[in-house]
């Protein structure tokens, strides 16, 4: 997993024209350079910003946007019209641009210079109408972009740019990404299934199936020394249950789990995969269902979801990339059990084993217990509680003719009571605007029981991501009202019938 996103660049492109003469264009160039450098050096912006010379003709616009397409470090472009840049000049370039675009509707000067403003100043500082001309052609061409309005040194503006930039990096990370699927979809489950070819066309990542037998071969090639060394890491990092300490009756199960983790890691790294999915129904030759292996791989940055759910696995990966460097975690989650207390209704989220320790509040305990399904040896898993605080659930579903991303803002809660007999990590939250509305809206929208649970992303991150991908985003938050929500879904359905990409 990346530790910083600063080696990704946004290109800062300013539009103008030859009408104003050399002196004005020189000032436009200098001002743009100053803005780009200010943004690039901001510690509030996760990526770098690269100044590009001001574009003044259709040819220059086409060339810079074609170069942005071809540059692997360029995750997107910021456009700004300091002066007027007649936007018919932009049509040919925008037609071929396939990197994310942010239209920064800003102005070089923060305030009107009341005492000194003359016609030269008016000639140079025309963003208020130059950016409207640019916005018009983007709307006419149905180009998905983010528009941010405000002074470029304003913290709120920079925070919005950062949000979009993080979504753009995650999008770049998906392009050409490979996800491995061991086994097929679990049983007859609908929501975890979907069109993998359509997903590759819409999102740029591929999902292909790999034989469990080939994975088992790699697991069996792991040596006892490698296992010893990983067991030592376990002992340093977690609180081991008594029966898996040296000499304990389940010690061998822990060693088997470590061998699975080492084999799975090697398989994924050798194949260049960014995530995976598996199913407990297809584990032929494996001694136990990967528990701690999957948990630790997720914590390292691999996308994962259970039961063949490749869509959630890919979304988990994207959210982890988006949140690089932010405090808190992003995890594969499953709605499990409700607490219908009239005073405070809550959802308990967990999974059979695979809950991401990046959510953990304190040191997880490492335990081996029987698993009711799968018919394998007792698997090792990390058990912990999650931190509370603002969070969200997001679900990517295949609606048949398109993909839909559903987001529900929630409030994470600390555990109300201990759960001494539940041998799996768990999370508690309260959906917004309230339990009844949040869950009802989620079900009307067709949201899955599998989600990404994020402690550090906001709806705006996922809005930006959905806009870049050109897919529908359904938002369930403090303002959601069921009386209008159902109609929003119906209108959206019609929109996406009319605007097939
Ligand atoms: Mn599941």
From first to last of the 501 residues of the chain, give the pLDDT tens digit: 788 999 999 999 999 999 988 999 999 999 999 999 999 999 999 999 999 999 999 999 999 999 999 999 999 999 999 999 999 999 999 999 999 999 999 999 999 999 999 999 998 999 999 999 999 999 999 999 999 999 999 999 999 999 999 999 999 999 999 999 998 888 899 999 999 999 999 999 999 999 999 999 999 999 999 999 999 999 999 999 999 999 999 999 999 999 999 999 999 999 999 999 999 888 899 999 999 999 999 999 999 999 999 999 999 999 999 999 999 999 999 999 999 999 999 999 999 899 999 999 999 999 999 987 777 899 999 999 999 999 999 999 999 999 999 999 999 999 889 999 999 999 999 999 999 999 999 999 999 999 999 999 999 999 999 999 999 999 999 999 999 999 999 999 999 988 775
- Cα of 334 from ligand 1 centre, angstroms: 6
Q: What are phi and psi of 58, to 5 degrees?
A: -55, -40
Residues 46/162, Cβ–Cβ less than 8 Å: yes
- Cα of 306 from ligand 1 centre, angstroms: 5
- Cα of 371 from ligand 1 centre, angstroms: 14
The rounded distance, in Å, linking the Cα atoms of 286 and 256 is 9
The rounded distance, in Å, linking the Cα atoms of 328 and 350 is 17
- Cα of 314 from ligand 1 centre, angstroms: 15
Cβ partners under 8 Å of residue 41, min gap 6: none
Cα distances from 91 to residues 28, 210, 237, 483, in angstroms, run 22, 44, 56, 41
Alpha helices in 155-223 (DSSP H): 155-174, 196-203, 212-220
Burial class from Cβ neighbours inside 10 Å (0-12, 13-18, 19+) for residue 75 reads: buried
- Cα of 450 from ligand 1 centre, angstroms: 6
- Cα of 353 from ligand 1 centre, angstroms: 10
């Amino acid at each position: 997993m990346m530790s910083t996103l600063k080696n990704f660049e946004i290109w800062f492109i300013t539009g103008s024209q030859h009408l104003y003469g050399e002196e004005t264009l020189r000032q436009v160039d200098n001002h743009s350079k100053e803005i780009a450098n200010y943004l690039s050096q901001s510690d509030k912006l996760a990526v770098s910003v690269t100044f590009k010379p001001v574009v003044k003709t259709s040819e220059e616009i086409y060339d810079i946007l074609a170069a942005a397409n071809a540059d692997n470090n360029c995750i997107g472009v910021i456009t700004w019209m300091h002066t007027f840049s007649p936007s018919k000049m932009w049509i040919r370039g925008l037609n071929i641009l396939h990197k994310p675009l942010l239209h920064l509707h800003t102005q070089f000067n923060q305030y009107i210079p009341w005492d000194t403003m003359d016609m030269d100043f008016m000639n140079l500082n025309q963003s208020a109408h130059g950016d409207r001309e640019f916005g018009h052609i983007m709307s006419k061409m149905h180009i998905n972009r983010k528009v941010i309005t405000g002074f470029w040194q304003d913290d709120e503006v920079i925070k919005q740019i950062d949000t979009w930039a993080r979504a753009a990096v995650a999008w770049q990370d998906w392009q050409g990404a490979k996800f491995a699927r061991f086994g097929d979809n679990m049983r007859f489950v609908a929501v975890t299934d979907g069109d993998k070819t359509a997903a590759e066309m819409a999102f740029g990542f591929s999902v292909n199936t790999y034989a469990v037998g080939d994975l088992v071969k790699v697991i069996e090639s792991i040596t006892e020394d490698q296992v010893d060394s990983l067991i030592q890491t376990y002992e340093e990092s977690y609180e081991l249950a008594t029966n898996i300490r040296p000499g304990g009756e389940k010690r061998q199960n822990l060693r088997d789990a470590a061998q699975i983790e080492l084999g799975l890691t090697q398989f994924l790294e050798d194949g260049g995969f960014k995530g995976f999915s598996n199913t407990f129904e297809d584990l032929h030759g494996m001694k136990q269902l990967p528990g701690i292996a999957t948990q630790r791989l997720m914590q390292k940055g691999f996308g994962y979801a259970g039961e063949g759910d490749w869509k959630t696995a890919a979304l988990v990966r994207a959210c982890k990339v988006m949140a690089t460097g932010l405090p808190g975690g992003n995890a594969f989650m499953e709605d499990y059990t409700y607490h219908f207390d009239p005073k405070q209704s809550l959802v308990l989220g967990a999974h059979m084993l695979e809950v991401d320790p990046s959510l953990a509040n304190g040191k997880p305990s490492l335990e081996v217990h029987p698993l009711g399904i799968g018919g394998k040896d007792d698997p090792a898993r990390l058990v912990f509680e999650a931190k509370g605080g603002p969070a969200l659930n997001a679900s990517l579903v295949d609606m048949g003719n398109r993909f839909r991303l559903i987001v529900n803002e929630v409030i994470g809660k600390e555990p109300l009571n201990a759960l001494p007999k539940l041998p799996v990590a768990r999370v508690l939250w309260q959906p917004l605007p309230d339990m009844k509305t949040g869950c009802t809206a989620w079900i009307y929208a067709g949201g899955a029981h599998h989600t990404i649970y994020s402690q550090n992303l906001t709806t705006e991150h996922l809005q930006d991501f959905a806009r870049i991908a050109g897919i529908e985003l359904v938002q369930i938050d403090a303002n959601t009202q069921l009386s209008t929500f159902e109609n929003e879904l119906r209108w959206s359905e019609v929109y996406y019938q009319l605007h097939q990409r």
